[in-house]
Amino acid sequence: MDVRDKVVIVAGGFGSLGTVVTSSLLERGAKIAVIDAQAAPPDAPPDVVAIHAELADEQAVSVALDRVVSKFGKISVLVNCAGLIHSEPLVNLTNPEQRRHAFHAWESVIRSNLTAAFVISAHVAERMAASRTKGAIINFSSIAANGNPGQTAYAAAKAGVEAMTKVWARELGPLGIRTVAIAPGFVATASTQAAMPEAALSDLKRRTPLLRLAKPAEIASAVIFAIENDFITGTTLAVDGGLVL
């Protein structure tokens, strides 16, 4: 699928990684709508349709998609970039005030990374199928899906994303809709820096065969590849610099 002139929704397209994905798609001539829980920043590209909506809210997503279809006529690609990185051990005896993984943190991480992807993907797939539009849904997983110590909620959510990707490939493939997951390693973004202490990041760089974090543009190029290769579906593309957790 050539991305030029295709209508692409980037969910979470104003985040640190989503911004780069959005820019890469624009450079290739895609028509972009960004649906994000955060408002469009002042420097957002003027030719992007920006829609402020909570991605795990079915009604809000439905209204947002109505706007996209009203503007562009159809939807060809959904890229699920929205997510929340969170690090917290299951049990921490050194913290007497909160020894167990906080339940509110679990709910927030699952909602942001898994529920949001489920909700918007279900709505987009329904519209694609009803209009007989062949397209693609690109989900964002993570190397953490393999089981990263200290990231119970995040790892569970991303493992769920990979499972949904496989299920949807089998269900939607006969309709001409592909589903692919991108699993980055650790990426040099503000959210990564905020979620992990510098000592942990230095250790990850040391254990990565390429001895560095991924550049956001390298993750965006994997998204483009997944969209353009029409015989890839139901799989997870690892972009992790050779790091194995």
* Average pLDDT estimate for 125-135: 97
Domain positions in the chain: 7-186+216-239
Active-site choice (106, 154, 168, 186):
154
Query: Is 137 tagged catalytic?
Result: no
Query: Among 67, 61, 27, which residue's Cα sits nearest to residue 49?
Result: 67
**Could you report the per-residue pLDDT of 134-156, keeping only the tens digit for each?**
999 999 999 999 999 999 999 99
User: Which class is domain 7-186+216-239?
Assistant: alpha beta
Q: For residue 30, report the phi and psi dihedrals to the nearest 5 degrees.
A: -75, 155
Say what the pTM is: 0.94
Q: For position 193, what pLDDT does the model report?
A: 79
SS3 168: helix
Q: pLDDT averaged over the chain?
A: 95
Task: Find the helix packing angle between 152-172 and 103-110, rounded to 10°.
Answer: 30
pLDDT value at position 189? Answer: 85
Least confident piece of the model among 75-89, 183-197, 199-213: 183-197
- pLDDT value for 199: 87
Question: Which residues touch 206 (CB under 8 Å, ≥6 apart)?
Answer: none
